[in-house]
Amino acid sequence: MAGTAVLRRLNWRLGTIREVVVETDRAATLHLDVDDWPGHLPGMHVDVRLTAEDGYQAERSYSIASAPDDRLLALTVERFDDGEVSPWMTEVAQAGDSFELRGPVGGYFVWDDADRAPVLLVGGGSGVVPLMSMARHRTRRSIPTRMRLLYSARSQDDILYRAELDKMAAAGDGFEVVYTFTRAPPPSWTGYHRRVDGQMLADVSFGERMNSPAFVCGPTPFVEAVAQSLVLLGHAPGRVKTERFGPTGGSS
């Protein structure tokens, strides 16, 4: 299984796209069949390698969006205009295309479902992708552990998985999602309309913070600021796990 030590180098596997789902005007999810996929834990990622006709290669890391129990592996990619790999992933790639993947990797940024402490997820932009794997895993296995997602996005059009997140929250089984919009909130929005700050994190943190795991993912400056605030609010530093996506968030 993914968590155990394997005494050989991690090899590249072939992933074949079965479906491309457009999430927003900048993001798409690729649903893949991967040769000999060993399974993964929620929060892990893969390294992706594309090879051009002339042998040129580019590698990037992408978080896994799907739950471990899902049949196909899902990667949600946000397009960067100056990017080298993301334009291919979001605009060229289609069902039947393939590329190499290495993984799953990332044992640090993993939600352990045996941990019953309420878990806080904080995602900025495409940082929500690995957090979605955690939320989906909870839903698939009907795990009662309380889970709250604070999701920061520019506007409503930038939200990934909106319908699915709202459906999970409406189930009333211990999952909640709180949105904050940093640019244009939806019409008649009464919720948060600003960047994530200490006050907002205090509002969404669980009472028993010292024991509550927190997962923070998104652009590097976002992750730095949020992680610092969570520790100042009383979260145990060792329980605040971070995954930085770089200056602008998301791979290029």
Partner 1 sequence: MSENQPPVSRGFLGRARDRSVAERLPPGQYLVHDFPVLSAGPTPHIPTERWDFRVLGVTGDTLGRWTWDQFRALPDETVTVDIHCVTKWSKLDMVWRGVSLDVLFDGIKLDAAYALVFSEGDYTTNVPVADLTGGKAWIATGYDGHDLEPEHGGPARMLVPHLYFWKSAKWVRGLQFLEHDEPGFWERLGYNNYGDPWREQRYSGD
Partner 2 sequence: MTTYDQALDGNVLAGILRGVFSFEPTASMAMCAGCGTRVPVGAWMVFVNAPGMVARCGTCDRVQLRIVHNDKGSMWVDLSGIASIEIAP
Residues forming contacts to partner 2 in the complex (CB under 8 A) are: 5-7, 9-10, 45-47, 61, 102-103, 105-110, 220-221, 224, 241-247
List the single partner that 45 binds among partner 2, partner 1, none, CB under 5 to 8 Å by kind: partner 2
Sketch the per residue contact string, 79 through 98, with partner 1: x for CB under 8 A, - otherwise. Answer: -----x---x---xx---xx
Side-chain-side CA neighbours of residue 250 (13 Å): 25
Interface residue with partner 1 among 18, 33, 49, 174 (CB under 8 A) is: 49
E strand or H helix at 62: strand 57-63
Dihedral (CA of 181, 186, 187, 191) sign: negative
Q: Output 174 or 221, the one with its CB closest to partner 2.
A: 221
DSSP letter string, 185-232: PPTT--SB-S---HHHHHHHS-S-GGG--EEEEESHHHHHHHHHHHHH
State in angstroms the smallest separation of the CB of 86 from partner 2.
15
Task: State the binding partner of 158 from partner 1, partner 2, none, CB within 5 to 8 A by kind.
Answer: none
Nearer Cβ to partner 2 (102/154): 102
User: Which token pair is 119?
Assistant: 């878990």
Whether the CA torsion 147, 38, 127, 162 is positive or negative: it is negative
Give the separation between CA 29 and CA 6, rounded to whole angstroms.
29
- Give the Cα-Cα-Cα angle 70, 72, 78 (nearest 5 degrees): 105
Contacted entry of partner 1, partner 2, none for residue 215, CB cut-off 5 to 8 Å set by kind? none
Q: Residue 39, Cβ neighbours under 10 Å: how many?
A: 12
Out of 1, 5, 7, 56, point to the residue binding partner 1 (CB under 8 A): 56
Q: Out of partner 2, partner 1, none, which partner does residue 57 contact, by CB within 5 to 8 A per kind?
A: partner 1
75 binds, among partner 2, partner 1, none (CB under 5 to 8 A by kind): none
Phi, psi of 219 (to 5 degrees): -60, 150
Indicate whether 206 belongs to the interface with partner 1 (CB under 8 A): no
Give the residue, chosen from 10, 14, 170, 232, that forms a contact with partner 1 under the rule CB under 8 A. Answer: 14
With CB cut-offs between 5 and 8 Å by kind, which of partner 1, partner 2, none does residue 100 bind?
partner 1
**Which partner from the list partner 1, partner 2, none does 246 bind, CB cut-off 5 to 8 Å by kind?**
partner 2
Least Cβ distance, residue 214 to partner 2 (angstroms): 13
Q: Measured in whole angstroms, how far is the alpha carbon of residue 40 from the centre of its chain?
A: 14
Q: Does 57 sit near partner 1 (CB under 8 A)? A: yes
Residues 6+ apart with CB under 8 A from 251: 60, 61, 62, 77, 80, 83, 85, 86, 245
Sort residue 241 into left (φ over 0), alpha (ψ -120 to 50) or beta.
beta
Binding residues for partner 1, rule: CB under 8 A, are 12, 14, 49-53, 56-58, 84, 88, 92-93, 97-100
